[in-house]
Chains A and B, each alone.
Chain A
Amino acid sequence: MTDRLDRWADPPLLVLASLADEPKHGYAITQDVAETMGVRISAGTLYAVIARLEARGLIEPLESDDRRRPYQITMAGAEVLAQESERMSKVASVARERLSIRLGWAGA
């Protein structure tokens, strides 16, 4: 069931969240998302997302001597991430509140 719910995770948001603290290259993003958010992003999905985020100016590539090019979040990307985080926080808050009423669940 958890695997199925993982599919609902929004990969662009996961990538933005991963880049929120420091620039990372592709492999570092997949590792970070897997370790901290528990979602595995495939190589194909990651670069489709990177291309889309870059096209919208939400992330930007950094110069690199290596073939591993790091990306950093832009101001526009940070704003989008903040708005989405706020929205998700509201959803989580409502979910916790209702679960606690119905099941007496206090959350983690």
Chain B
Amino acid sequence: MSGTVDPRHPGHQAPPRRRTSLLARAVLALYPPSWRARYGDEVLMLLEDSGGRLREVVSVAWRALPAWFCSPRYLRDRSARIRASLSTALISGSLLAGLALFFAQVTQFQGYTTPGYPVVGWAYVVFDVALAVSALAVGVGGLPLWLLMLRRARREQRTRDLAYVLLPVIAPVTYLTGLAVTTRLVSGPHGVSQGWFWIITLAGFVAAAVAAAGPGVAMRRLRPRGPALHLAATAAAVSAATLTVAAVAIVVAIGGMSQYSRHQDGYVSPVLVLYLVPVLVAATVTAVSAARGARAARARA
């Protein structure tokens, strides 16, 4: 063997280095991130030292699946789990809140009622209360974490992270300012046209996504830990639960409206049913992510 002598283990010569194949790196991507972070480099070195034989690479691939189910407890980073769950819940929760506000805009705010179908009115009330509680939970429970990241970004003069942290303020303010200017410019005697309504709605979803993505990116970069993160995870679970109630209220209200519409016109708009698809998907993703985050926050270290 023409390798160099391993200074730590004189009895073992390190073989000449070979370039790790892309295949080996691709195979490592099959492992859980925590496992990869802990052992990835070592496995690549071993594969290089072993000559990168296909049989060795296949043996690493073969062990990837059990690694997902039998990941050692010490490899599990609870804070990273909470941060990832919070980021997902923020995005899907903001989408759900946007869909809920859209629902309110086209029904309640337009004074749409369904005489003879009181269930729709009850659903409006449940929806309003659930949405208010959800916003309150996010505001109160998320504020300490937000302030923690804000202080750290300022203290360490991390301008980009500061911008990410401030996006939940900047994006809505920008949107609302743009909305005020736009509606003043394009409003006619009967309000804005349908085209402008959809543009404004779409811009609202974009603003909500940007506002939610900011803290998610900041969490990935600043990696906050501790009680503030755990409190935010609990608040996210409460918020997700109430958002789910709001989503159920939407389903009930749309069900009542469909019945009313069928009775009045003999016709139910398929748009109503199509609208429910993203509502249910967003509610499910939000609830699952928030539950995973809350479970990680409650788990013993």
Contacts and interface: CB of A to CB of B under 8 A. Distances in A.
A68 B66 contact: no
A47 B45 contact: no
A23 B9 CA distance: 8
The SS class assigned to the B binding surface is helix
The SS class assigned to the A binding surface is helix
B56 interface: yes
A47 B39 contact: yes
Interface in B20-70: 35, 38-39, 41-47, 49-50, 55-63, 66-67, 70
B184 interface: no
Given A28-B9, A44-B60, A50-B39, A55 B45 contact: no
A44 B62 contact: yes
Contact of A51 (B6, B8, B35, B59): B35
Contacts, number: 91
B9 A43 contact: no
Chain A interface bracket (under 10, 10 to 19, 20 to 34, 35 or more): 20 to 34
A87 to B, nearest CB: 25
B154 interface: no
Nearest to A52: B72
A77 interface: no
Interface string B212-240: 00000000000000000000000000000
Interface in B69-105: 70, 72-75
Contact of B59 (A22, A24, A28, A42): A42
Contacts of A96: none
A45 B8 contact: no
A61 B44 CA distance: 17
Interface in B271-294: none
Contact of A48 (B9, B56, B63): B63
A47 B46 contact: yes
Given A23-B8, A26-B42, A44 B59 contact: yes
Nearest to B57: A43
Given A42-B59, A45-B59, A24 B12 contact: yes
A28 B63 contact: no
Contacts of B47: 43
B14 A68 contact: yes
Contact of B72 (A25, A31, A51, A66): A51
A67 interface: yes
B56 A70 contact: no
A43 B12 contact: no
Contacts of A31: 12
Contact of B8 (A44, A67, A70): A70
Contacts of B43: 26, 43, 47
Contacts of B73: 55
Nearest to B64: A44
Contacts of B46: 26-27, 30, 43, 46-47, 68
A42 B9 contact: no
A44 B61 contact: yes
A47 B38 CA distance: 11
22 contacts: A25-B8, A26-B43, A27-B12, A27-B50, A28-B9, A32-B12, A42-B56, A43-B43, A44-B56, A44-B58, A44-B61, A44-B63, A45-B63, A47-B42, A47-B43, A48-B67, A54-B72, A54-B74, A55-B72, A55-B75, A64-B8, A68-B14
Interface of A: 22-28, 30-32, 42-48, 50-52, 54-55, 64, 66-70
Interface of B: 6, 8-9, 11-12, 14-15, 35, 38-39, 41-47, 49-50, 55-63, 66-67, 70, 72-75
